[in-house]
Amino acid sequence: MTTQQVADAPVNPDTVSEPAETDLVPDKAVTLVQRVLMPRPADPLKVRSLYLDEENAPIRVRQDGRHSGLIAAGSEVSFATYFNAFPASYWRRWSVLGSVVLRVTVSGTCRVDVHRSKADGESMHVTGVSHQGDEQTIELELDLAPFIDGGWYWFDVTAESDTVVREAGWYAPQAPAEEPRLAVGICTYNRPVDALAAARALADDPAVLERLALVTIADQGNNHVRDAAGYTEVKAALGDRLRVVEQPNLGGSGGFARTIHEAFTRSDATHVVLLDDDIMIEPDSLLRARAFAAYAKNPILVGGQMLALQNRSVLHSMGEIVDRETFFWTNAPNTEYHHDFGKESLRESPDLHRRIDVDYNGWWMCLIPRTVVDAIGMPLPVFIKWDDAEYGLRAFAAGFPTASLPGTAIWHLSWGDKDDASDWQAYYHIRNRLVAAALHSPHRHGGKLFREMLKADLRFLINLQYSTVELHHLAYRDFLAGPESLFRDMPQSVVRAREVRATHADGQVLPSSSDLPLPSMPTAKAVRFRRIPVNPLSIGKTLVSALVHNARPVAPENLDTPQLNLAFQDARWFLLSRLDSATVGTADGRGVTFRRRDPATFRRLVTTSAQLLRRMSQEFPDLQRRYQAAAGELTSMDRWGEAFEEWGYQRV
């Protein structure tokens, strides 16, 4: 048995190292920070691309569990993949580590080569180790110094004979100052099976289970977790670490607030990880977030990135920021939206190698240290939407950054498959955006916020979505009323929002367009209507004609008979704005809404929007003072505790 290895000093990744032969005595790896994972046996080929790059492997890797795999003779397999490459630039920026150790156990005749990338995606060979014979453990210590702007480490295995790779991982060469004690908080509303599936995934991984101090499920529906199939098994696996709290529907804000409250008032946890219920999780993500927090230079929020649940090889969200001019969330600079690893590997994707700095991370998965909660308090009582973004902004202002860590992720339904900005949730999108802006906008009169809201209202109106704008007006008035009612109105706010949405036809979902008469517009004319205006002149002319059309009376025959049946993706402003009526499919494909033009409603709503938005802009300095003065109470651990008592709850 022979193995070639580098000397004891960390490998300089800026040079190509051809190691000298030496007796291998693994002793550098101290604490595991990222396990190398094999795909699940049932994973399709596209999903395998998140774990293995098998482009040069005539025979796919045959895995034995999640941590061992057989590479056939004559194959080269790369671990330059989303879940197995090491995001070196993030550890370089935020952690105390100066190096990382690759530890891998191999048997057979093979070569292990380490590569790294730069921020522009260019890759280079760093060092390599040849091995033949019986099983042996290889350790390579690698320098993190050159990764300030971006870059990953990964390794490839070239098999001359059948080669087994097992228990590979990336290690810290030193122990952390403190071992974090993890609490997990899952918020659910009538998704008990999904919530239990997330909890079961954690309990089924021994390494994760060992590090869990508490798992709290905030059960806010009437289809209870304790009554769902599988509850007994999850309870048996987690034992006293599982805590189910049944409470009224308080949305994500109230559900996650409950899990934070339980973690930091009723356990000795040092960190809480918030998880959505409707997710699929890679359990190692919890260990990676925990390790990152353990080695952070200062307390930091660690977010998981979002993979698309309905297309699992797609990285949907890499990181997000809040534009302070418009006060709206958007993708962080240098991100690649909706990247499909099944089509382009990590090595083929230069846009995935820069470090991405963010303002916040969505609470589909986010680790929050107790230190941060002690310093800045709890989430705002805003039911849903903007609670995570506002918390990230508040934490940043207090000196606690957020990192959206690559390779730490969940699968979640992407917002491209939703339309929650125009359904009943539109109320929360707008009201909570205004509240967050009052707390954090640097602009005395809101910058471009109110101008953008007026444009959005106009866009919804010419799209015949009157219920959405009606909800916006409710949000405007509630924001103007001040912060005093946020706690008081929280449990009933969703009922009120649903009632307002149902007052217009576009807010009422029908099972199918077949419930209405056949569309009246001839196909040839419909084709002309669907032409997309592409230059400024045609866009301007279309917009003017749309506004003129919305002032004209509606043809009586179009009130009960739709002119067109439109798919959700075809319901564009330049088309709907020139119609009297149309059915439009819902984003989830389960129904349709019947949108009908109403000139009187259009005039009323556009006038009200202009008046309310002008008033908010004028009063914004005073509103900022009021909301900022109330922030301490709104985010107080004690005030949340009092609210939970008022609303009632039951621990299971």
Residue 472 half-sphere exposure toward CB, CA atoms < 13 A: 27
DSSP class of residue 17 equals: B
Q: CA–CA separation, 187 vs 216, rounded Å?
A: 8
Q: Which stretch of DSSP H or E encloses residue 96?
A: none
Neighbouring CB atoms inside 10 A of 444's CB total 10
Q: Which two tokens stand for residue 40?
A: 């699940």
Residues 367, 245 within the same domain: yes
Beta bridge partners of 317: 306
**How far is the CA of 35 from the CAs of 67, 79, 207, 239, in angstroms?**
8, 12, 10, 26
Which pairs count as long-range contacts for 20-26, CB under 8 Å and 24+ apart, including other chains?
Answer: 24/136, 24/137, 24/138, 24/139, 26/103, 26/137, 26/138, 26/139
**Closest C-alpha among 545, 576, 541 to residue 562:** 576
Length of the chain: 652
Residue at 534 is within a domain: yes
**Domain end residue (candidates: 151, 172, 193):** 172
Backbone torsions φ then ψ of 399, nearest 5 degrees: 95, 15
Contacts of 372 (CB under 8 A, 6+ apart): 299, 301, 395, 398, 400
Predicted local distance difference test score (pLDDT) of residue 26: 66
- The alpha-carbon radius of gyration of the chain (Å, integer) is 27
Pairing outcome for strands 182-188 and 76-78 = unpaired
Q: Which residue has the tokens 């071992």?
A: 179
User: Are residues 503 and 583 located together in one domain of the fold?
Assistant: yes
Nearest to 117 by CA among 157, 150, 68, 166: 150
Q: Calculate the alpha carbon distances from 595 to 453, 459, 598, 608 in Å.
A: 22, 14, 10, 21
Beta carbons of 197 and 206 less than 8 angstroms apart: no
* Same domain as 227, residue 165: no
Secondary structure of 449-472 as H, E, C letters: HHHHHHHHHHHHHHCCCHHHHHHH
Q: Encode 257-292: b = buried (16+ Cβ within 10 Å), e = exposed.
A: bbbbbbbbeebebbbbbbbbbbbebbbbbbbbbbbb
The mean pLDDT values, 10 residues at a time, for the chain of 652 residues are 50 60 65 97 94 94 95 97 98 98 97 97 96 95 97 98 97 96 97 96 96 98 96 97 97 97 97 96 97 98 96 95 96 92 95 97 98 98 97 98 98 78 94 98 96 96 96 98 95 95 93 91 78 84 86 92 90 89 89 94 97 98 98 98 96 92
Q: Which residues contact 210 (CB under 8 A, 6 or more apart)?
A: none
Q: Do 481 and 366 reside in the same domain of the chain?
A: no
In a shared domain, residues 113 and 212: no
Tell me whether strands 212-219 and 242-246 are parallel, antiparallel or unpaired: parallel
CA distance 366 to 363: 5
What's the CA angle centered on 331, arms 486 and 348, to 5 degrees?
150
Distance CA 472, CA 453 (A): 9
Q: 3-class DSSP state for residue 301? A: strand
Backbone angles phi, psi at 512, to 5 degrees: -160, 155
Q: Is residue 44 part of a domain?
A: yes
What is the DSSP-derived secondary structure letter of residue 354? Answer: B
Contact at 8 Å (CB) between 294 and 396?
Answer: no
Query: 59 with 151, same domain?
Result: yes
Check residue 569 and give its pLDDT: 87
Q: Report yes or no: 155 and 112 within 8 Å, Cβ to Cβ.
A: yes
Residue-level pLDDT at 385: 95
User: Which value, to the nearest 10 degrees, does the dihedral of the CA atoms of residues 85, 86, 90, 95 take?
Assistant: 170
223 and 368 belong to one structural domain: yes
Catalytic residues: 388
Domain match, 446 and 516 both: yes
Q: Which of 172, 199, 231 is a domain's end point?
A: 172
541 and 585 part of one domain: yes
Rounded CA-CA distance 406/156 in Å is 19
Domain boundary among 172, 207, 224: 172
Displacement of CA 514 from its chain's centroid (Å)? 36
The pairing of strands 564-566 and 314-317 is unpaired
Q: What is the domain extent for residue 35?
A: 21-172
In a domain, 2, yes or no: no
Residue 405 lies in a domain: yes
3-class state of residue 643 by DSSP:
helix
Residue 89 burial (10 A CB sphere; 0-12, 13-18, 19+): buried
Asked if the structure places residue 340 within a domain, the reply is no
Q: Are 292 and 91 in contact (CB under 8 A)?
A: yes
Q: Which helix (H) or strand (E) holds 410?
A: strand 402-412
CA distance 67 to 6: 25
CA-based nearest residue to 277, from 318, 241, 309:
309
The pairing of strands 320-323 and 182-188 is unpaired
Per DSSP, the chain holds a count of helices (H) and strands (E) of 18, 29
Q: What is the 3-state secondary structure (H, E, C) of 182-219?
A: EEEEEEECCCHHHHHHHHHHHHCCHHHHHCEEEEEEEE
Query: In degrees rounded to 5, what are phi and psi of residue 280?
Result: -120, 130
352 C-beta neighbours (distance < 10 Å), count: 25
> Could you give phi then psi for residue 392, rounded to 5 degrees?
-65, -40
378 with 493, same domain: the answer is no
* Beta carbons of 575 and 485 less than 8 angstroms apart: no
pLDDT for 7:
36
Beta strands in 309-361 (DSSP E): 314-317, 320-323, 328-331, 339-340
What are the DSSP calls for 162-189, one per residue? -EEEEEEEEEESS--SS---EEEEEEES
Asked whether residue 341 is assigned to any structural domain, the reply reads: no
In a domain, 585, yes or no: yes
**Among all chains, which residue has been given the structure tokens 């998140």?**
50
Nearest in space to 360 (alpha carbons), one of 309, 307, 286, 436: 436
Residue 210 and residue 165 share a domain: no
Are 441 and 564 within one domain?
yes
The CATH number linked to 407 is 3.90.550.60
Q: Is 79 helix (H, G, I), strand (E, B) or coil?
A: coil
Residue 406 lies in a domain: yes
Q: How many domains, in total, are found in the chain?
A: 3
